[in-house]
Amino acid sequence: MIAGKSRDRGQAFPIYVVVVAGLLFAALAFFAVGQASVVRSDAQGAADAAALAAAGDARDHLVPGVDLLVLKPEDWKKVLEGDLLYAGGACGAARDFATRNGATADCEPDLPRFKVAVTTTRTVGDSVVPGAAGRPGTANAAAVIEARCHLRAVVAEPTPSPSSSPSPGGEEKPAAVEIKCKGGEVIKFDPAKPESWSTLARKLFAVRLVA
């Protein structure tokens, strides 16, 4: 009887080893999948940040040579439609943000839209999942600049009195403009007391991720 129990234990041991080995493999596989998921999430975060950085940089810059202090109403319409935004440094901003997030970025500027593809410098590492070992995370993102305001009115300057002196060189002083934005906000740009473009741009345009 004792000999029979011994034989049963001997037959059960290989099964026990196989089950334990299977559980260990499954645990390693789950760990590898989790690791890959983290790397992929890092890549998507870096792509989103890079795309928003590119769009934000373009929003904050006007085409070189544009002077808000001398714009005419027809020029303001172009500004508010985004036609005079400048994307010269946008992809540089995207690459910089990708680097801060442990990735490299390829950028495609097409105002008002920016597409970014990133590859993480971090990899999955050793993995029991076939083909996953040593692979970096990759992801794509796109961001767009949306105009949210339009020209409401040109605010005429008061008629000068006969005793008032003309402006130097006889030049006409640019009129202030009123800009109406979504939500009912009204912005007045007065050439006599101008805001910086980067400050004004964040009121005039929204930047968001798109599919």
Q: How far is CA 32 from CA 7, 82, 114, 132, 134, in A?
A: 39, 46, 33, 8, 11
Which CA distances in Å does 33 have to 43, 59, 211?
15, 39, 26
Taking residue 199's Cβ as centre, other Cβ atoms within 10 Å add up to 10
3-state helix, strand, coil in the chain (%, to 5): 45, 25, 30
| Tens digits of residue pLDDT in 19-75 | 666 556 555 554 555 565 767 888 999 999 999 999 999 999 999 999 999 998 889
Q: Provide the phi-psi class of 82: left if phi over 0, else alpha when psi is between -120 and 50, else beta.
A: left
pLDDT band with cut points at 50, 70 and 90 for residue 175: confident
Mean pLDDT of the chain: 81
pLDDT digits (tens, 9 = 90+) for 75-87: 999 999 999 999 9
Domain residue ranges of the chain, discontinuous segments joined by +: 2-210
